[in-house]
A and B are shown apart, each in its own frame.
Chain A
Amino acid sequence: MTEPVGPPPKKDPQKVTRPPELPPLQRSRASLKQAAWAARGVFALQVCGVCGKASYPPRDACPGCLSDDLDFRPVDDRGTVIAQTVIRSSTDLYFRQRTPWRVGLVRLDCGLSIVAHLHGDVAVPGPVRMVAKLDKSGNAVLMALPATESDNMTDDPEYRELTASPRHRRILVTDGRGAVGQAVANALSKAGASAIFVGVAEPWKPFSGMDGLKAIPNVQTLPLDLTDTTSVTELAGEIGGKTDIIVNTADHVRPGGIFGDGSLVTSRDAFDVNVFGLQRLAQAFGPAMRGRGADGINSAAAFVDVLPVYALANLPDFGFYSASAAARHSLLQCLRAEMRAGGVRVMSVFTGPVDDDWRQHVPPPKVAPGQIAKVVVRALEEGIEESFVGDIATDIAARFLDDPKVLERELSQ
């Protein structure tokens, strides 16, 4: 049984913070394709389109028939671990800091042998369930978990390296005025966050849900206006050194395309929150988080952004809003690369249209704030880099992966 992770000891300011080393960075291009699936939380392996043979490690040609038709596909995740070791000595700095490290050799039911991280509760030999995750370098790794969930399974130290569990962590949620921010704060509280700082712009103005927000255990509201650099910097000065996770729920949504009256003014407002707000936030909090990427149980772990799925392709009815989302998406890609050096994950939670005042004329299905909150918590607990909330977001993601140009036409009809 896994020992439950307890609250972290108080930080000793005299001691050196453990530097955030990374596991090996260099991977082949074929391996990066596996990472793309792992980023979405899917255990996928290459399966030959010609002869049907599955293969691993990632290859450029099929070992059954030499075809290059090797797409990754979700495959049966069951197998048996037939051998194990505990690494106690490594020349790699990341693993040196983390030994002992358990590793197993898993024989998948489909007949492939896989060297994998091995959960502490798995008996050898014994049945396992495989998962694909991203490691601190953002590369795909495979882990063998108990075939049925064990007690405190997610507290296994190797598993925790692959996730950003909110438990015992201090989390900033940027927009307490909105229903999404409130739902996220509530869900994080239930998921065991030790402190939830909730930013509120213009705090002297009352807002719907204010009392409910303040009643959530471990919630503390603080003034934060993402359009005001001073406000963001001041908050970072106050809590930046103890912010382990950020969930940015701020979203400025207005309908309209380029030809609408005053579209330049409203789109500037949208960009100021959605794009520059994100940038201010990342600039003020990012460097400190990056330095604390390996700082024990409550190390800095993730920066989550909740953004509309129209980041992937423009919805002309919300034309400049979509444009700001696309800029936001691009900025997140940049932030992901910059945070990687600290092993801090940047996670995108793409949502379909939220059921709010500005989208009354949008037909269902729409997304409830509680749905988003659930997916945010799941992304953190399972280490998922790209999540899609609701049927619309899932549908658009599938069409985007199929062909972005076709999606553009579909959204403009």
Chain B
Amino acid sequence: MIASGNPRRAYRDVAVAVPVSLPYVRYSIESAHWWIAGALKELTERAGIRPTDIDGLSVSSFTLAPDTAVGLTQHLGLTPRWLDNIPMGGASAVVALRRAARAVEAGDASIVACVGGDANQVDSFRKLLSSFSRFAQDASYPYGYGGPNGSFALLTDHYMRTYGATREDFGRICVAQRDNALTYPQAIMKKKLTLEDYMTARPIADPIHLFDCVMPCAGAEAFLVTSVDVAKDLGLPYATLLSTIERHNAFPDDPIQMRGGWAMDVDELYAMAGAKPADIDVLETYDDYPVIVMMQFEDLGFCGKGEGPDFVRSHDLTNGGSFPQNTSGGQLSAGQAGAAGGYLGMVEALRQVTRQSLSRQVERAGTALVSGFGMINYDRGLCSGAAILAGSGA
């Protein structure tokens, strides 16, 4: 491969700081512009900088139309010298971080604000689906119009048939994440979920039932990427970036999605960080449905392919447990605020490793792995990515 002639370089002195999560709202009359502005305001206030100090901006949103990141600069009075617009749904935060880190390293920008935010008005979700992608429009939505529920139902059904996973196995993930959410004051879901509640919930698209699905809502999440020197000057607690990976349309010849792009790049992820799965103290997976969480356990090397069901049976996934995972409840319990859903895990990991957690603090949270997954273009999710962050004390 030609790419082997250009080896990747390690990240040097990239700091990730100021985790911002605006409290989510199920339905809101406010626009994506409003949510993103709110996140940037809190970001700058807590960083002790003026909005005009932001010289790099990375935006992810499904509901900004007809605007993009470009329109936002004028709308919000920003004059960045580096601008990015990342339409990768659940992979947005990882990819935003990757790009921002290189921009900061190269000196193309010194303070990059990464923000994901979306509106959710009463009819937003239906409208978003109707214009999601060309392949979905031509070849998946005309078949029952289940949206992502329908697509993930097929993947889940196939995974269960192939590896003997049961609904209870997926339920364990959802129940543990709800327990975590109950320690996170901003989670949309406030009620305890039992395995029985999970099992008896109404079917949505077999084998997907109600608690396998996220609650679409409005909200925004953000963080800053800068150099370690700037972070120190500003007196900000920060995490350093150890490694990242990104992949799109991996394994196109798999008959149905059984693995994500992580499986292609995971060795590089750990090698670049000088770490192994056992070194990860906190894992934040992308969890629009529990089956993809299980695949991430496998593809990120925490267990072998097909061992996901055993893994969840033998681990406690709560913040106080043996394998703290989705420590603010994930999207399944905190809510899915559009593209902010791709940011939820990143911002939560940043809070955990910098010991600013709003949810129950994981005791030994030195190193976190954040994983992203996005965009069911037709029959499978195309974007995957992951990043390893270390608290500055780690």
Contact = CB atoms under 8 A, between A and B. Distances in A.
Interface of A: 23-24, 26-28, 30-31, 56-58, 63, 82-92, 94-95, 99, 101-105, 107, 111, 113-117, 124-125, 135, 139, 141
A31 B139 CA distance: 9
Contact of A88 (B129, B138, B206): B206
B135 A92 contact: no
Interface in B128-153: 129-130, 134-135, 137-147, 149-151, 153
Interface size class of chain B, counting residues whose CB lies under 8 Å from the partner chain: 35 or more
Contacts of A139: 142
16 contacts: A58-B139, A83-B161, A84-B157, A85-B150, A85-B154, A85-B205, A85-B206, A87-B144, A87-B153, A88-B206, A89-B146, A91-B125, A91-B147, A99-B144, A135-B142, A139-B142
B138 A28 contact: yes
A384 to B, nearest CB: 19
B82 interface: no
A88 B135 CA distance: 22
Given A28-B137, A95-B144, A115-B139, 15 more contacts: A23-B142, A23-B145, A24-B142, A27-B137, A58-B139, A82-B256, A89-B149, A90-B146, A95-B145, A99-B144, A104-B154, A114-B139, A115-B378, A139-B142, A141-B143
B143 A103 contact: yes
Contacts, number: 121
Which of A23, A103, A125 is most buried by chain B, counting CB atoms within 10 A of its CB?
A: A103
Interface string B67-104: 00000000000000000000000000000000000000
A197 B94 CA distance: 67
Contacts of B153: 85, 87
Nearest to A102: B144
A116 B205 CA distance: 15
B7 interface: no
A116 B138 contact: no
A87 B138 contact: no
Contacts of A24: 130, 137, 141-142, 145
B158 A141 contact: no
Given A27-B137, A28-B134, A105-B379, A83 B155 contact: yes
B379 A85 contact: no
Given A101-B144, A107-B255, A57 B138 contact: yes
Contacts of A94: 145
A335 to B, nearest CB: 23
B155 to A, nearest CB: 7
